[in-house]
Amino acid sequence: MKPIIHFKVRIQSRKILPVLMLCAAFFFGITTTQAQEDSYTRPTWMFGIAGGANFNYYNGSTQSLNSSLSVPTTFHKATGTGLYLAPLIEYHPVDSRWGLMLQSGYDNRKGFFDAVVTPCNCIADLSANISYLTIEPSLRFAPFKGNFYLYGGPRVAYNLAKSFSYTQGTNPLYPNQIANPNVNGDLSSMRKTVVSMQIAAGYDIQLSSTSHRTQFVFSPFVSFQPYFGQNPRWIETLNLTTLRVGAALKFGRGHRVVKEPVIFEPVVAPSQTVFIDSEVLFSANAPKNIPTERRVREVFPLRNYIFFDLGSNEIPERYVLLKKSEVKDFKEDQMEIITPKRIAGRSVRQMNVYYNVINILGDRMQKDPSTTILLVGSSDNGPKEGRIMAESVKHYLIDVFEIDANRISIEGRYKPKIPSEQVGGDNELVLLREGDRRVSIESSSPALLMEFVSGKSVPLKPIEIVETNTAPLDSYVTFNLKGGNDSFSTWSIKLTDQKGVTQNFGPYTSASVSIPGKAILGTQPEGDYHVEMTGTTKGGKVVTKETTIHIVLWTPPTNEEIMRFSILFEFNQSKAINMYKKYITEVIAPKIPQNGSVIIHGYSDVIGDSIHNEKLSMARAMEVRQIIEKQLSKVGRKDVKFEIYGFGEEKTLTPFENKYPEERFYNRTVLIDLYSKK
């Protein structure tokens, strides 16, 4: 008679995940009632509890259960589900891919063996209930600096329980046989300590926004623990592989994001009083309010191209070419410029940065002697002329920056790898061919390239351009004192306001003193003061001078500092290349302030129909918005407002002019402005 094989799986942990999710919902309800206006970082330290189900798979063989019982037929395979429950600690520095994890708790490895047939044609069943106290330290790695993470490390387990249950049925040919009783006992020859390993993956779901100091995270995970080292006994060949599926509920406290304090600097209404006699000149200067502009901190991308004029193999004069003696004074990190109020002026100033691209390249290659480059010249006259163009750039780097010639390779082509002129195109070919007549800079050296991607097609590392707009020192209230025939040894100032309250400043020994307006006004926005200067000359003569002055407290500009990023597109393309998608999600999106605004401006060059270019610029802007929104949705953010514009080739609005190919390449762009508030 063919024996009947039983397959048994008992799920003991089916209630774990619902309980964890219920707890998460409870804690989330608490945190949402504690919202504050403050902003906090993500916690560095997290504490919580992890729970789940161990799906256990036994292999090998077992027959000798203990010293008093050796079953007649060997058991080989078993499956089962056991409970996993453990407290956890997690360390994950903000803005880092790396972290540490520790879980330690109860770990059940229950299994039900496939039924076997004994020599008496009886069906036998065996189950084992093995449990451990497990300690699992792990290294945590978030490859995309996002919510998805990998972790792995050793597993050290101490045996807590080792029971078995054996049942041998009766021969079905003899139905009147008395059934054998179940045999229960402890497995013998068990290892007290098991050392193995695990690899796993998890995903953090934020239950609290960064407006809460105490933040909760719900993290589903899956862990694979192979049979290496997991032999539960030192006899026979029984081994165990486990797949663990569960979730963790974690909480931690973030650090308050310190907002830059509002700094009041003195600005006074226009007023200057001067007293002159034969011995003393005393002046009180109160300059008028200093007009201010918005501060813009912009990441300016560098195209890897040097464009050549039609009919010429020499580097164009619009590029900044240094003399050998000037190289020592050129520093890439000293190229900060002031962003103009009129956006049209951006072309002149920022193209000045771009026209230094060869010098920026030479400066970087000098700083890192391990870097190498390939210069690819493209000319519609053939690869030979392309090589001549590349040679002119190479000789400049060798002669001026003294770069070793072995570090620079050259190549000639008819067309660049990403041409502007497409097959079958017949519109404005002169402008397109100007864009294709260029020398491309290719390199695999990370020191030259954008930090988060690799490969020969990667653009050069961008330059940060900062508007340096600070209140000048002459916005302070200034008092000047000079003696005619004899300088003063000391002098002091007494200020009296309209209420008769007096303040004394000094004594001073210098001829000029600047006092912050806030030190005089305190909490008042403005005020009228009577000024009395009393000074003593080195000859012992006391001189007193009086005047009045009106002081107005200088206040910071209402427009806060913004961050600006540029995304470049290829000719007639509205889809961002993968490199820029990664740049938007990993660099730009995390910098968007809480409750901030994102203003996205799309542009195009002048090639093609103006209506088409307007639609193209809007499509580019919408592409960037969708990438940002998708990333914000992943981290649970709904606090950001968007404004989207597509300006096409509008001459009064485009960031750059369209006279040269490099300007047209930069107009194929989307500008992203990040504001802390609208």
Question: How much is the pLDDT for 281?
Answer: 65
What confidence category does residue 3 fall into, taking pLDDT thresholds of 50, 70 and 90? very low
Q: Report the C-alpha gap between 336 and 466 in whole angstroms.
A: 6
Q: Any idea what the Cα angle at residue 366 is, between residues 437 and 666, rounded to 5°?
A: 35
Q: What's 273's domain CATH number?
A: 2.60.40.10
Q: Report the C-alpha gap between 144 and 36 in whole angstroms.
A: 29
Whether 115 shows a pLDDT value over 80: the answer reads yes
What confidence category does residue 432 fall into, taking pLDDT thresholds of 50, 70 and 90? confident
Q: How does pLDDT run across 515-525, given as a tens digit for each residue?
A: 767 778 777 77
Q: How does pLDDT run across 218-232, given as a tens digit for each residue?
A: 999 999 999 988 899
Whether 155 shows a pLDDT value over 60: the answer reads yes
Q: Are residues 155 and 224 in the same domain?
A: yes
Whether 472 shows a pLDDT value over 90: the answer reads no
Residue 509 lies in a domain: yes
Question: How much is the pLDDT for 260?
Answer: 40
Q: Are residues 368 and 396 in the same domain?
A: yes
Whether 263 shows a pLDDT value over 60: the answer reads no
Q: Are residues 54 and 189 in the same domain?
A: yes
Assign 3-class secondary structure to 208-252: CCCCCCEEEEEEEEEEEECCCCCCCECCCCCEEEEEEEEEEEEEE
What CA–CA distances, in Å, run from 598 to 78, 365, 671? Answer: 57, 36, 10
Q: Are residues 88 and 39 in the same domain?
A: yes
Residue 8 lies in a domain: no
Choosing from 408, 435, 461, the residue where a domain stops is 461
Q: Are residues 173 and 225 in the same domain?
A: yes
What confidence category does residue 398 fall into, taking pLDDT thresholds of 50, 70 and 90? very high
Residue 37 lies in a domain: yes
Q: Report the C-alpha gap between 60 and 75 in whole angstroms.
A: 8
What confidence category does residue 269 fall into, taking pLDDT thresholds of 50, 70 and 90? very low
Q: Give the residue, 507 or 233, on which the prediction is more confident.
A: 233
Whether 91 shows a pLDDT value over 90: the answer reads yes
Q: Are residues 421 and 489 in the same domain?
A: no
What CA–CA distances, in Å, run from 573 to 151, 457, 628, 649? Answer: 39, 17, 19, 15
Q: Are residues 104 and 211 in the same domain?
A: yes
* φ/ψ bin of 622: left (φ > 0), alpha (ψ from -120 to 50), beta (otherwise): alpha
Whether 209 shows a pLDDT value over 70: the answer reads yes
What is the arithmetic mean of pLDDT over 553-568? 70
How many domains does the chain divide into? 4
What CA–CA distances, in Å, run from 617 to 3, 567, 612, 656? Answer: 74, 12, 9, 15
What is the arithmetic mean of pLDDT over 113-142? 94
What confidence category does residue 626 fall into, taking pLDDT thresholds of 50, 70 and 90? very high
Q: How does pLDDT run across 371-384, given as a tens digit for each residue?
A: 999 999 999 899 99
Whether 10 shows a pLDDT value over 60: the answer reads no
Q: Are residues 190 and 44 in the same domain?
A: yes
Q: Which of 372, 379, 435 is nearest to 406 (CA)?
A: 372
Omega before 220 cis (within 30°)?
no
Which distant-in-sequence residues (6+ apart) come within 8 Å of 26 by Cβ? none
What is the arithmetic mean of pLDDT over 159-182? 87
Q: Are residues 147 and 79 in the same domain?
A: yes
Could you tell me if 295 and 465 are in contact, meaning their C-beta atoms sit under 8 angstroms apart? no
Question: How much is the pLDDT for 338?
Answer: 36
Question: How much is the pLDDT for 328?
Answer: 86
Write the burial class of residue 532 (CB in 10 Å: 0-12 exposed, 13-18 middle, 19+ buried): middle
> Residue 587: which domain range?
563-675
Q: Are residues 325 and 444 in the same domain?
A: yes
Q: Are residues 571 and 452 in the same domain?
A: no
Q: Report the C-alpha gap between 440 and 453 in whole angstroms.
A: 18
Question: Worst-scoring range by mean pLDDT, 127-141, 188-202, 402-416, 421-435?
Answer: 421-435
Question: How much is the pLDDT for 394?
Answer: 95
Question: Worst-scoring range by mean pLDDT, 165-169, 442-446, 485-489?
Answer: 485-489
Q: How does pLDDT run across 481-506, given as a tens digit for each residue?
A: 665 445 677 788 888 988 888 988 87
Mean per-residue pLDDT of the chain: 80
Residue holding tokens 């050259």? 410
Question: How much is the pLDDT for 563?
Answer: 84
Question: How much is the pLDDT for 275?
Answer: 44
Q: Give the residue, 174 or 403, on which the prediction is more confident.
A: 403
Q: Give the residue, 457 or 136, on which the prediction is more confident.
A: 136
Give me the torsion for CA of 450, 453, 458, 460, rounded to 10°.
10
Q: Are residues 540 and 579 in the same domain?
A: no
Q: Give the residue, 210 or 80, on which the prediction is more confident.
A: 80
Q: What's 374's domain CATH number?
A: 3.30.1330.60
Whether 657 shows a pLDDT value over 60: the answer reads yes
Residue 9 lies in a domain: no
What is the arithmetic mean of pLDDT over 673-678? 74
What confidence category does residue 264 fall into, taking pLDDT thresholds of 50, 70 and 90? very low
